[in-house]
Structure 1
Amino acid sequence: MDNYPLLNIFWTMLELFLWILWFFLLFKIITDIFRSHDLSGWGKAGWLILVILIPLIGVLVYVIARGKSMGERDVAQARQNEAAFKAYIRDAAGDAPPDAAQGRSHVDELARLADLRAGGAITEEEYQKAKDKILA
């Protein structure tokens, strides 16, 4: 350790961090190229060739040219995943018997309560009390 001063250790750690960051960005861009519906097959092939053969310039050009739409695709994918997850939960829990008085199941009532809590209409304490009442 005497021949490797502390500043060199920090420099090595920074280089390692930048390599990890670089590979993360490269994989993110490659998955975005394949996920993009507005690119044709030739466009995807061209971007892949540019990103793989000339990585530094290719990645920078891709981020500059398509960075905004890349973020929009990420947001759309997250919303689609969340909607699919909620639909799956409602389908899986849909076997609960509906409330005879209102024609709604416990799942619908809990979902409505969660929406009220998320919107700030009720507090966490009110949510817990109403949830216990529904499940009782």
Structure 2
Amino acid sequence: MTLASAEYPFLNLMWTMLVFFCWIAWFWLLFVAFGDLFRRADVSGWTVVFVLLPFFGILLYFVTQGRHILDRQRGREMSTSDNTGAAQIAEARRLLEQGVIDDAEYQSLKRKALAR
């Protein structure tokens, strides 16, 4: 054994790596929570909770709002990527073929998409 391994045993190294990983993961969760929070217009007060009780506030936010974060993200992506009329018509056509909407609704959606 070398002197370096005797001064810092393997379990201490593993513990340090775990603590560092958890620290990075917590900051990632903090950025995700703040990013979601500042994109929303329907909530307020969470920032105060994050500042006063950072660990508890982040955990509480993910417990209460976690299942909706992905839905809001997908909604933002859909609203930015499907702004073209062709994409809206293609989506309406897919819904028509699946039987979700009828021909009248398809024509209405098509007219709205072409009007943009």
Q: TM-score, structure 2 length as denominator?
A: 0.62
The answer to whether the aligner puts 1:18 opposite 2:17 as a matched pair is no
- CA–CA distance in structure 2, aligned partners of residues 81 and 18 of structure 1: 33
Of Structure 1 and Structure 2, which has the larger fraction of its residues in helix? 2
For 2:15, the aligned partner's letter is W
The 3 A distance-change label for structure 1 pair 81 and 8 is farther
- Structure 2: runs of 5 or more not aligned: 91-116
The answer to whether the aligner puts 1:3 opposite 2:7 as a matched pair is yes
- CA–CA distance in structure 2, aligned partners of residues 38 and 5 of structure 1: 51
C-alpha distance after superposition, 1:53-112 (max 9, x if no partner): 10111111111111122121111122234336xx5xx9xxxxxxxxxxxxxxxxxxxxx9
Higher relative contact order (CA 8 A, sep 6+): 2
Deviation of 1:18 after TM superposition, in Å, equals 0.5
- Structure 1: runs of 5 or more not aligned: 91-111, 113-136
C-alpha distance after superposition, 1:14-57 (max 9, x if no partner): 11110000000011101111111322xxx1xx100101210111
- CA–CA distance in structure 2, aligned partners of residues 81 and 15 of structure 1: 38
**Identity among equivalent pairs (%):** 35
Q: TM-score, structure 1 length as denominator?
A: 0.54
For 1:5, the aligned partner's letter is P
| Further displaced range: 21-30 or 72-81 | 72-81
Mapping for residues 1-136 of structure 1, pairs under 5 Å: 1=4, 2-39=6-43, 43=44, 46-83=45-82, 87=84
- CA–CA distance in structure 1, aligned partners of residues 80 and 16 of structure 2: 38
- CA–CA distance in structure 1, aligned partners of residues 77 and 9 of structure 2: 45
